[in-house]
Amino acid sequence: MGLKVEDNCRLIDTQGDGFSVLEDARVSLASKTNCKLPIPLRRVIVQRKDGDTSRC
């Protein structure tokens, strides 16, 4: 599933309990069809203190 970034959200507090937020963005489907999602979609990329990076 390809995602297109519509808007980057402003990061105020990037440190959490055992993780750091690297990116927070509003995204939409990048397909060429007219398919729309019924709710807004956000992509959050976090990095754990142990070094692993994951996308939520």
Domain boundaries in the chain? 3-55
For residues 9 and 41, the answer to whether their CB atoms sit within 8 Å is no
20-50 exposure pattern, b = at least 16 Cβ within 10 A, e = fewer? ebeebbebbeeeeeeeeeeeeeeeeebeeee
pLDDT higher for 54 or 46? Answer: 46
> Per-residue pLDDT tens for 7-40?
888 877 788 888 888 888 988 888 777 777 788 8
For residues 41 and 28, the answer to whether their CB atoms sit within 8 Å is yes
Q: What was the pLDDT predicted at 55? A: 65
Entry pTM: 0.64
Element (H, E) at 37: none
